[in-house]
Chain A
Amino acid sequence: MLRKKTFTYFLILVISLCIPYSAFAQRKVQELEEKDTIQLFRGFGISYDLAGTVMRMVSDYGQYEGAVHVNLRDRYFPIVEFGLGDAKHETDAVTGIAAKVRAPYGRIGCDFNIAKNKHDAYRVMVGARYALTSFKTEAWGNIKDPYWEHYNPYEVTTKKCFFHWVELVFSVDARLVGPVRIGWSFRYRRKIGSSNIGEGNNLWYVPGYGKSGNVLGGTFNIGYQFWRKNKTKKQ
């Protein structure tokens, strides 16, 4: 009986001594897990916006847009986007004019991966962009004078307009198969400034921005991820 009691007390003592050490070890594990040992440059990726191409196919405007981003610690993604905005409206039934714009544009910015596990195959990102473009609008038609009643050729090439804006971006991105990734982004745009808009302050179409008055946008990207190869040190 006494032996059994002594053993019980001994066991309790051992357990009570072990508890603080195991708690300490757990804390150490957590600290080590939190420490980010991953390399700064993880690779880079390229992507293409399918939404812009589909838009151009189904409507009178759209864009052909690609992007290159750099992966820093799986958390920060500096990005450069560049594209060709294209809009062509055939002769309008009401106004009787046609118009077109075709010009390049560019954006530069950074995305921040807000996913809890930044190394995950899925990325949830927020970011911002600064964008700019310079373009001319061409319009043409044959307009009937309402008073003199004869038709007059209508041909306009506007002055070169410089337009720049900022975008707030929310995007989701996932690995589709192997290094191929797919994702989408929603964007809120805010014009910073422009030149040579003319009276009325109206612009029909701005490459990369869309139609005038449209502050929402989005992309649907398919991309390819190039990972940095890890060098193994020989000991």
Chain B
Amino acid sequence: MVKGIKSKQELGVRSEELGVNSSTSEAAKPITSFLIPHSSFLILFAIVAVITSCSSIDCKLNGSVYCRYQLKDQYLNDVAFAYPLTVTLCDTDSGDIVVINNESNASAIDLPMSHGNATDVLKFTITVTDTIVGEDTVYYVTTPHTDIIRITKTNEPYFESIDCAPRYNHTIEAVQSSHNFIDSLVINNKKVTNDASKENIYIFLNSGN
């Protein structure tokens, strides 16, 4: 009897090797048979569909890269321009373009950087308004004061995902300016990325501005 049982078990194993289903495999067939051979292509299609449809990516909301300029006093306190400020990007394909137009009380300014230029040239203009009181009339005389700022930088293309807008990070190497109303420019953080919380350049004004 023992021999008989053993041989039956061996027969069950061997039957699989020979490609013949044993009686027990016939019993199990209804459980899995619908899962495999007859619906193979449906399952293949389902697997491909599930895998290819489930991907998602979160691009950063702030995908743009801006250089942040912060106006400071001699004690490194944040201050604002006393006069309206206009900022112009120079040497674009459309000539000079104004990106900030007569903004009052400007303190922190976010300005774009070019993707490919080694040096960006920007014009900062403050419009000083003098009041002249005549005999029966008050005259307002506006005088623009302009400083040219040159920023030398490197441009590093950055890839996040095919679904996210491509961008360039920058490393500021040097800043120069004329000194009509700007006293000096200081690099605080030379890495310019899409992190808007970092102040990249401090602007110090001449006394009286």
A-side interface residues toward B, CB under 8 Å? 25, 29, 32-33, 37-38, 50-51, 54-55, 58-59, 74, 89, 92, 94-99, 115-117, 119-122, 124, 137, 139, 141, 143, 145-150, 152-156, 158, 172-179, 182-184, 186, 198-200, 202-204, 210-220, 227
Contact = CB atoms under 8 A, between A and B. Distances in A.
Given A99-B162, A156-B158, A117 B51 contact: no
B136 interface: no
B37 A143 contact: no
Contacts of A173: 36
Contacts of A99: 159, 162
Contacts of A202: 57-59, 160-161, 164
A139 B162 CA distance: 8
B116 A219 contact: no
Interface in B152-200: 155, 157-166, 168, 193-195
B162 A121 contact: no
Contact of B28 (A50, A89, A116, A182): A116
A154 B157 contact: yes
Contacts of B36: 122, 172-174, 182-184
A160 to B, nearest CB: 14
A119 B37 CA distance: 19
Contacts of A55: 48, 51-52
Highest count of chain B CB atoms <10 Å: which of A124, A174, A176: A174
A172 B32 contact: yes
Contacts of B5: 29, 32-33
